[in-house]
Chains A and B, each alone.
Chain A
Amino acid sequence: MKYIIETNKLTRRFNGLTAVDSVDLQIKEGELFGLLGPNGAGKTTTLSMLSTILKPTSGTAEVNGFDVNRQQDEVRNSIGIVFQDPSLDDELTAYENLDFHGMIYGMPADKRKQRIKEVIELVDLSEKINMQVKKFSGGMKRRLEIARGLIHHPKVLFLDEPTLGLDPQTRRNIWDHITEMNKSEKVTVVLTTHYMEEADSLCERVAVIDHGKIIALDTPEKLKHSIGGDIISLEADPGLLPHLKKIKNIKKIKNMNGEMNISAEDAEHLIPVIFDVAQKNKLEIHSISLRHPTLEDVFLQLTGKSIREEKAGVLDRFRARIRSRNR
């Protein structure tokens, strides 16, 4: 197996605070890989080290076979990045922004021209190509940034919170574009996110990161599976409990003052069985609900807390301001 990104005990400290703590990652070529974690977990710091913006305090990382410390230019040629905050020149047109990118990566004129056409089509912005970027909506800017990151044929594209601050429709649209370009360009995509559903529906594999450490790494399905299948919540006569315990396929029952939480595989088919049992024994069921586990449940189980909402620090507020100004 060839890994396009490989880190070994990658660590970064800021004045005594360990933002990234001995991270070992192996990302496969062509993969759509997600780094999932709350704000401040160390996702962006990890990405910054992989893209040579920050130097690791200790440990090593290789991108496309090049060392991020010693072969910076080679790494930079191998990667494209879409930053968390917008980084387009608003005064320039979409075309000029893309052309600028091609030039600072040293692409010859004919290749540049052809490639700009390709990537702009990929993100459906061909008609807006000569429009100044300041007239773009937030979603269009994001798409343009994704296109820009692809111009120089990178092997890896890093996306730092690609849908932060976008509305739900635009977010889905961006997801489609990410999946599409991952396939058509055969580019490895590494994205960070603190949206569970984003990691779940987009990524082939997800690393859950908290306090700078990777606490779980697998496909979203396996991660969800690891916490014990579906959950049926049941409000019913407590007399039902002993009967339920006899049903096959039920893995675990937690009884909390009259509400029973049942963990089971294939819970859809279990519900009729539960009703049968209740009816036969003339026991009443007040309510029943079925829930498939989400990555949120996984995170909850692993850390004992939910992905916390953005604690607005000074920097975040500043960012939000810039963002609203730019979008």
Chain B
Amino acid sequence: MNKQISGIYILWKREVIRFFRAKSRVIGTLGMPFFFLLILGTGFGPAYQAQSGGGNYMNVLTPGIIGMVLLFSAIFSGIRVLMDREFGFLKEIMVAPLSRTSIMLGITLGGMTTSTIQAILFLGVSLLVGVHLNLYGLPAALLFMFLISASFVALGIAIASKMEDMHGFQLITNFLIMPLFLLSGALFPLENLGAWQFITLLDPLTYGVDGLRGSFINASEMPLWLDFTVLAGFCIACILAGAFLFSQRE
């Protein structure tokens, strides 16, 4: 048991070390969300304000972009298992006397940590450019951040276990990550989607973004307990699927 825990710990630590080692990567990953916030925020701001009767779009957009940061970085850190396989390091992990489930959990915890750090860095940046968030909601928001990131790292590992190499990567980005992002209501309120709204309810990230909005700007479309329950269920399902597929494959 001790061995499993020390294994999980070092796998987690490896992810964190690698994350902080590449300073340019840390800054690079903040670039896209920052431009999203600044350009979309100022571009659509007036239209939103007019339609919603005085609402501030930047404040609504920021929790959505935090959701985006979590989604992208979490799935990518799960799929990075493929890179480890390609570069041989996965073998080193695989011949250790460590259970497959522990390996998967270690990678998940690592990805969860680095994704959440990125989200918090972005949160800091957004506060600097003048977004108003209710910081008393931070503990609740952190809970949602953990759930979102853990779910999508596990999902990334599950996908990576089914993929042969990096060739399918584009497919995942275009047909999984982008729809998850666009249908989650990260960029606009869901009620305007009309007939599409039903589909958005099938997107787990919808509940994550809604939970973050509820925590940060006290404006959620669904009750927070519902967001939490759906997301927690999705998280457990992803971890189980990831652990199963990972043990099957490797």
Binding site for B on A (CB under 8 A): 51-53, 72-73, 76-77, 79, 81, 83, 85-92, 96, 99-101, 103-106, 132, 148, 322, 326
* Bound CA span A101–B96, Å: 8
Q: Which of B61-96 contact A (CB under 8 A)?
A: 86-96
Chain B interface helix/strand/loop/mixed: helix
A76 touches which of B2, B10, B18, B96 (Cβ 8 Å): B96
Q: Which of B18-34 contact A (CB under 8 A)?
A: 18, 21-22
Check A92–B95 contact: CB distance below 8 A: no
Does B3 sit at the interface, judged by CB under 8 A? yes
Residues of A within 8 A of B6 (CB): 103-104, 106
Binding site for A on B (CB under 8 A): 2-3, 6-7, 9-11, 14, 17-18, 21-22, 86-98
Give the Cβ gap from A316 to chain B, nearest Cβ, in Å: 15
Residues of B within 8 A of A73 (CB): 97
Check A87–B96 contact: CB distance below 8 A: no
Residues of A within 8 A of B93 (CB): 104
Check A86–B88 contact: CB distance below 8 A: yes
Give the Cβ gap from B24 to chain A, nearest Cβ, in Å: 13
* Bound CA span A91–B21, Å: 8
Check B3–A106 contact: CB distance below 8 A: yes
Given A53-B94, A89-B18, A103-B7: 12 more A-B contacts, CB < 8 Å: A72-B97, A76-B96, A86-B87, A87-B88, A88-B92, A91-B21, A91-B22, A104-B93, A104-B96, A148-B92, A322-B86, A322-B88
Closest residue on chain A to residue B10 by CB atoms: A103
Q: Which of B88, B91, B95, B96 has the most CB of A within 10 A?
A: B95
* Bound CA span A132–B98, Å: 26
Give the Cβ gap from B30 to chain A, nearest Cβ, in Å: 20
Closest residue on chain A to residue B102 by CB atoms: A104
Residues of B within 8 A of A103 (CB): 6-7, 9-10
Residues of B within 8 A of A91 (CB): 17-18, 21-22
Give the Cβ gap from A314 to chain B, nearest Cβ, in Å: 12
Residues of A within 8 A of B91 (CB): 53, 83, 87
Check A88–B89 contact: CB distance below 8 A: yes
Residues of B within 8 A of A104 (CB): 6-7, 10-11, 93, 96, 98
Check B89–A87 contact: CB distance below 8 A: yes
